[in-house]
Amino acid sequence: MIRILLTLALLATVTAARANDFWLGADVSGTTELERRGVQLYNAAGQPRDNFMLMKELGMNAVRLRVWVNPKRGDCNKEDVLGMALRAKALGFALMIDFHYSDWWADPAKQNIPEAWKDMSYEQMKQALAEHTRATLQLLKDYGVDVKWVQVGNETTDGFLWDVGRASTHMDQYAGLTDAGYGAVKAVYPQAVCIVHVDCGCDMKRYRVIFDGLERHHARYDMIGMSVYPYWDMDTHLTTSDDETLTRVIANIKQLHKLYGRDVMIVETGYEARRPEAGRAFMQRLITQALRNTDGHCRGVFYWAPEADAGGHYPLGAFDNHRPTVILDPFNANNILNP
């Protein structure tokens, strides 16, 4: 009996330790653009709130902010990111910085070279990437902002900075650019965790391509970032249900750790805002299984652009009528030990 009690106590201690280092957050990079357009957000009681305060009231403990190189309107340039990072700091959020290495969106469909870098050679581009990374992070550090995680690229399923860093044709150069970003991050924030991010967490094949390539070319990274969107998985016929997406994601997290010795962070997820009850159920299962069924190798879950409204053009936000829906209920970090 004593041995059983000691075992249960040990398990409880391990679970608590993992939960204390488990992060529930959101990418709220669109906040200042939304404010510039005059959009007012509210809490569930109808009281006006800014986006950062809403995430805090919902119980999240981390936020993610993207960085563009030279965006036309200034949204998500390093100065805009600094302003949002200071707001995050004031509310006690842990911070993830997500470098897109583009003047606008970078994702599996497009990884456009910034206009100012277009005529650069590979070696010049490595230097530009490193300097942009260092300058952005140094600005944050100069203002007393701590950065816990840094993504070296966003959804780099076929690399980034196409075609110079396209993984399918220039894996060596993609690896070299990634390693240059890693070195720049560590020069400013030595303790920051560097993340390489790939989409479609249910599809192990694309992870093997990228991480086998990075290992082969000795690129440095600390953690694997994953996107989990059952909506897009079913739309592209990768899976046939929420359950299949979830089952494969959890299995892949454990397999990725076995193969590469790195933990995983689900840095993006989302569900149809017009189906809030189904969304809450999926997020509850995703968070619970990420915490309890991955042998401790998933370190957290971030919702992407929760403030996107059910009536808008992007279907996978988590708001309706500018108020949070129940989709976000499972993201209360205070409750993760009691899902």
> Which residues participate in catalysis according to the annotation?
155, 268
Q: What are 99's strand-pairing partners?
A: 67, 152
H helices within 118-229, ranges in order? 122-142, 167-188, 204-216
CA pair distance 309, 315, nearest whole angstrom: 8
CA pair distance 26, 23, nearest whole angstrom: 10
Residues in the chain, total: 339
**CB burial readout 261-293, b (16+ within 10 A) else e:** ebbbbbbbbbbbbebbeebbbbbbbbbebbbbe
The helix/strand/coil state of 225 is strand
C-alpha atoms less than 13 angstroms from C-alpha of 229 in its C-beta half-sphere: 23
CA pair distance 12, 19, nearest whole angstrom: 10
Encoding tokens for residue 237?
Answer: 């016929």
**Contact predicate 331/26, CB 8 Å:** yes
Encoding tokens for residue 158?
Answer: 């076929």
**Contact predicate 308/299, CB 8 Å:** no
Q: What is the CA radius of gyration of the chain?
A: 19
94 — phi, psi (to 5°)? -75, 150
CA pair distance 322, 163, nearest whole angstrom: 39
**Contact predicate 135/185, CB 8 Å:** no
CB atoms within 10 A of CB 165: 28
